[in-house]
Structure 1
Amino acid sequence: MPSPEQTELLATPCVTCREHHLKCDRSVPRCGRCVRAGRECKLGFKFKPTKDSFSRGQRWLRPPRKLVYIDETQSLTTGSPLEDTSQYEIHVDETYNGELESNSSSVTPPAIAGLRERNPGNESVGITQPRNQPKVHGLFPSNGVSTSLLNSHRAFPEAKPTESYDVSSLPTGNNIRMSAPRNAPLSSFHAVSSLPLKNRTEALLFRHYIQKLAICLDLCDPSRHFELVVPERAAVSHTLLNAIFAIAARHLSHTTNFDPLASNRYHDECLKHLIPMLDHASTVSDENLFAATIILRMLEEMDVPTTGQDNYSHLLGIHAFVNAGDQYMGRGSLSAASFWVGLRQEIYIAVITQQPVKVSLDHYIVDRSFEAADDYTWSNRAIILIADVLNFCFGDGNFTSGRWNALDEACKKWSATRPSSFNPFFYRERTGSSAFPEVWHGSSCHVIGIQHHILAQLFLTQFDPSIPKVGTNRRTAMKKMTERIENLVRELCGIGICNQWTPPSMFTACMGIAMFGDQFGERSDQDALIDMLQRTEAEHARPTAAIQQQLKKAWGWVPENE
């Protein structure tokens, strides 16, 4: 904001800031925000209302019979241009007499077909709209409303039941009537989608995200926010919708012959609106943008074979949302669901790069206890445990025997006190022709919980401070360590192979292969590990080529200098 001493200001906010939906400080000759962003500062115009009154003989223009109402609510909220206004038509009867009635109420446009009675912004989308509605950013009111109301599965109130259909409240009269889109079929199905889809291809991408990709994000979420809530929010969030299109297009281009450039177009459109929003401190309270950033990070992981490297660009955005504070992360909210997905994405990077987890773990939704709880909570406890283990192994100045013993004891206690539902419903030891055992689970939260617990045991085994550095006992200790690591990796891969209906089971297994696959000396085991890496990349669009090359060098399959 400009200082109180600054007296010379622009008459109105500049056009550039208004176009980007940003607050202008109105500094002259260029506002501070445009200077910092390196944009052209376009000056606006100041209009003053006239105090003149109209004479009784003033003649008024007759409006056309058909008016088109343009609802800019979505455009102002998401920054997306309106694409089709054909369904917002208001017809004016010819009996209009050309006179204005001072006590007549304004006409509110019809609701968008297919949308629920209330949108995620807590604003009514019905025939009438209450005035003096509090302004909101995303889902968080700026008037101090408690965020506890946002912690339910849908974050907006349910419709009140009625005993009968009441049509008495609908507007009536001879002058104005509202019509449905022309040529609409007489059917119980809506002809107009609640989503701003341009064509059948976008509908295909939207369906592909729901059916194939959301499961990769909702592993430990009983409410399945990314499958059920995110698609609903995409109807009013331009950025979220384009993120869905981008990741679906990228996944299809990696696994089928879909257009490889389509994802780039949606990604660029998404960033066009997301990047300016990051200038706002209030952006970190918008859980729709948080979810979009999570989806874009998943896209970034898929893009490694295309770009040749992982820039971790969207990880920084995830850190910003996570570090915003607990007030935006209520239990059961989309923000909380996004936090757990972002933490798993951060763990993947920490494992591959052998670095500590950088996202903050100091939130009240983080539970490190061993008290009775639902299975999803137990899975998240295992995820927090591997994050703590990685911080111990790769952190600075925290590597002590006491700390290792505490983490090892936590691993043992998690295994001893977890619910019996985490046991597989079918298990068969590996045979001579199979490198991995058969391990069948029925829930994705069981799969991901057990696999992350195995990862924690693997790193603690590798970094066991009790193994002698030198001496006659070192050889025996190292042999036992290698045997334990091999058994744990086999279990990890067996879970992945037998539960491919949840693709992250394969991703997590590949993390273990990347870190500990070099300790397998038998060629049959090595072939099985490489085959698993190749299947993961071919069928699930997860990059593993670099891991394959590193293992082949470690096993002596290719020269070190290649």
Structure 2
Amino acid sequence: MGQQRVRFHSQGGGPAVIQESPDPHRESESWTAATPGATNQSPYHAISSGGPSVDSPSNHSPHLSQQSEDKTPDAAPFRTLDPYDDRPPTQYRSTSLGPQVRPRGQGDVDHYSSAGHSTATYPTDDGSASYALLYDRHVPSVISSQEDETFRRRFPLEDTREACLFRYFVEEIAHWFDLCDEDRHFQLAVPRLAHHHPHLLNAIFAVAARHLSRLPQYRTPAGILYHGQIIPKLSEHDAVEYMLKCIPALRHFHDIDDDDYRDSIIATAVILRQLEEIDEEEEDASANDNGNGQGDDAHFQSGKQQVNFLPIINAVLRSSASQALFGRRSLIQAAYWMALRQEIYHSFTRKQPPQLFPSSDLWHSASKANKTVMHTVQVAKWRWEDGSEREWMRLMDQQNYLEYEILANFRPIFKRTADKAKGEIFPTIWYGSNLEVTSIQQSIMAKSVLVAENPFLKAPSASRASWRRAENDVRLLLLELCGIALCHPASPPALLNAAIGIQLYGDFFTDRYERQALRVVVEKYRDARAWPVQKLLEMFKE
């Protein structure tokens, strides 16, 4: 007989009695490098536009598993059967190594659907030929010869501009990618790998040039001044040029059977995707952001020669070659988790379901921080695709499990409520590491969505008092989210998370002083990272 224990839900209601019984399938299997015809479950899971199947159970919360949270195997373990996974055993699933995706409007397999749905294989899984077709469809032929892979810069770098860009990436940007990575792959491993792979080095230069050219604190009449070195005429056009040089290497991802090379391509894809996110926000906000002197560059990117490489990046991350390396290449694992965090940003800001979705098999091998990432991606999928009451209940149960089990040891160093008598709006909350800050903020963002979008509040029987309580709870969560961000200026991604929350539910605030305080947070984020936030600032126009 298993043991029973009582869990109280933070959102009210009576205690839930949870039956914990031994799971005969609890032992996870070690996932080795996949080969064609293998039956390994892909770590990259498909998205679905439909809701959960009518016969999928609602009690498949990960807290039913007794596996230790501190167990971190060298290779990512994958489970054939999961307590909250109603998919059939692996031998009854498709043996395709690629992600299972579907055309819009068709049912599909997702992390809680039954086996009855049909699946379609992503075209890149057919090999390099179809991958090349995808590349040709999204990249203009005019840039097909932009990069010469035989040209490699020697270290120490002779070009002052490129040396500054390289250092800026290592010191100022890499930690964005390493927020949930204790091994700091993008700060330590990626720069070393870039010594030998020009496309990765150009990606580093591109994202660094994009950031550095926008920050006003480095501007002087002579040019950008960085660590005592003058960089004359650095502009966002340089970022475009570096980006174009590294794009063609993505085409050859399937042609070269070298693990280090594929590591470098996947890292390049994730870095360029970060650059894409900045450009997407800018293009939507305004084609004439005259405050940054980028009129020509904006026209260049929004014209006929625009490179739509987001589908290519996703194809690299989803490809069978990436999956075959996933269990034994730590850099690929780090890149994948970063890609999922990028999905959260893209999904929340675009209000679209995530395009890259993790398999539930990853849950038990994921770190505590990455469990919050998985949960937040699932919440985003529910918010903009599923919307069912049953999945909301599962996610709320999972939210409580995260708060009281997974993140129980992430306690703040110091916490003080805001003193409104002194004009304070945000609470003071200190955490000991960027990893803790990111994990807590991800949890807060997910909870904000679940509370604000509670489907039971849409029922005719829901009272106005219930709506007011939900709105007040969301406001308190956002104030906490912003307070954490302001208390950790050395972690600019914390301001990004705050900005996402404000964009989603900033209109819940009606108090003039609170709205002014939220605007200050958005401006701090803009000034810290030079990220376009025009549409977000318009929310707070008086």
TM (normalized to structure 2)?
Answer: 0.62
Give the superposition deviation at 1:261. Answer: 4.8
**Structure 2 residue 375 is the aligned partner of structure 1 residue 351:** no
Instruction: Name structure 1 gaps, 5 residues minimum.
Output: 1-22, 26-31, 41-76, 84-192, 558-562
- Aligned partner of 2:414 in structure 1 is 426
**Structure 2 residue 425 is the aligned partner of structure 1 residue 435:** yes
Higher share of residues assigned helix:
2
**Structure 2 residue 523 is the aligned partner of structure 1 residue 534:** yes
**Structure 2 residue 337 is the aligned partner of structure 1 residue 340:** yes
Partners in 1 of 2:206 and 2:538 — Cα distance?
A: 29
- Aligned partner of 1:409 in structure 2 is 397
Partners in 2 of 1:206 and 1:79 — Cα distance?
A: 19
Q: Is the 8 A contact 1:322 1:360 kept in 2?
A: no
Give the superposition deviation at 1:468. Answer: 4.6
Q: Is the 8 A contact 1:242 1:267 kept in 2?
A: no
- Aligned partner of 1:238 in structure 2 is 198
- Aligned partner of 2:308 in structure 1 is 313
- Aligned partner of 1:74 in structure 2 is none
Aligned residue pairs, count = 369
Give the superposition deviation at 1:331. Answer: 5.7
Among 537, 541, 544, which residue is 2:533 paired with? Answer: 544
Give the superposition deviation at 1:499. Answer: 1.1
Q: Is the 8 A contact 2:243 2:272 kept in 1?
A: no
Q: What whole-Å deviation, never above 9, does each CA across 1:526-548 have from its counterpart, x for those lacking one?
A: 00100110110111122222111
Residues 312/328 of structure 1: CA separation in 2 closer, same or farther (3 Å cut): farther
User: Which amino acid in structure 2 is aligned with residue 289 of structure 1?
Assistant: I
User: Which amino acid in structure 1 is aligned with residue 351 of structure 2?
Assistant: Q
**Structure 2 residue 388 is the aligned partner of structure 1 residue 384:** no
Structure-to-structure mapping, 1:115-514, within 5 angstroms:
194-195=155-156, 197-255=157-215, 256-257=218-219, 258=224, 261-275=234-248, 277-278=250-251, 280-282=253-255, 286-304=262-280, 307-308=283-284, 313-325=308-320, 326-330=323-327, 333-362=330-359, 364=361, 366-367=362-363, 369=364, 377-395=367-385, 398-432=386-420, 433-470=423-460, 473-514=462-503
Give the superposition deviation at 1:80. Answer: 4.0
Give the superposition deviation at 1:209. Answer: 1.0
Partners in 2 of 1:488 and 1:520 — Cα distance?
A: 12
Partners in 1 of 2:471 and 2:508 — Cα distance?
A: 7
Give the superposition deviation at 1:487. Answer: 0.5
User: Which amino acid in structure 2 is aligned with residue 492 of structure 1?
Assistant: L
Q: What whole-Å deviation, never above 9, does each CA across 1:59-105 have from its counterpart, x for those lacking one?
A: xxxxxxxxxxxxxxxxxx9714256xxxxxxxxxxxxxxxxxxxxxx
Partners in 1 of 2:513 and 2:373 — Cα distance?
A: 31
Instruction: Name structure 2 gaps, 5 residues minimum.
Output: 1-126, 225-231, 286-301
- State the secondary structure of the residue aligned to 1:436: coil
Partners in 1 of 2:390 and 2:250 — Cα distance?
A: 45
- State the secondary structure of the residue aligned to 1:521: coil
Partners in 2 of 1:205 and 1:431 — Cα distance?
A: 43
Q: What whole-Å deviation, never above 9, does each CA across 1:156-206 have from its counterpart, x for those lacking one?
A: xxxxxxxxxxxxxxxxxxxxxxxxxxxxxxxxxxxxx635x2322221211
Structure-to-structure mapping, 1:12-31, within 5 angstroms:
none
- State the secondary structure of the residue aligned to 1:439: strand
- Aligned partner of 1:81 in structure 2 is 151
Structure having the higher Rg: 1
Q: Is the 8 A contact 2:276 2:310 kept in 1?
A: no
Give the superposition deviation at 1:428. Answer: 0.7
Residues 204/429 of structure 1: CA separation in 2 closer, same or farther (3 Å cut): same
Partners in 1 of 2:128 and 2:456 — Cα distance?
A: 61
Give the superposition deviation at 1:312. Answer: 9.3
Q: Is the 8 A contact 1:245 1:263 kept in 2?
A: no
Q: What whole-Å deviation, never above 9, does each CA across 1:386-438 have from its counterpart, x for those lacking one?
A: 1111111111xx33222111110000011110254311111111111111101
Residues 411/78 of structure 1: CA separation in 2 closer, same or farther (3 Å cut): farther
Partners in 2 of 1:426 and 1:260 — Cα distance?
A: 45
Between the two structures, name the one with larger relative contact order (CA 8 Å, sep ≥ 6).
2
Q: Is the 8 A contact 2:357 2:377 kept in 1?
A: no
Partners in 2 of 1:485 and 1:24 — Cα distance?
A: 47
Partners in 2 of 1:313 and 1:491 — Cα distance?
A: 37
Partners in 2 of 1:276 and 1:209 — Cα distance?
A: 21
- State the secondary structure of the residue aligned to 1:535: helix
Identity %: 28
Q: Is the 8 A contact 1:245 1:266 kept in 2?
A: yes
Give the superposition deviation at 1:363. Answer: 7.4
Residues 221/280 of structure 1: CA separation in 2 closer, same or farther (3 Å cut): closer
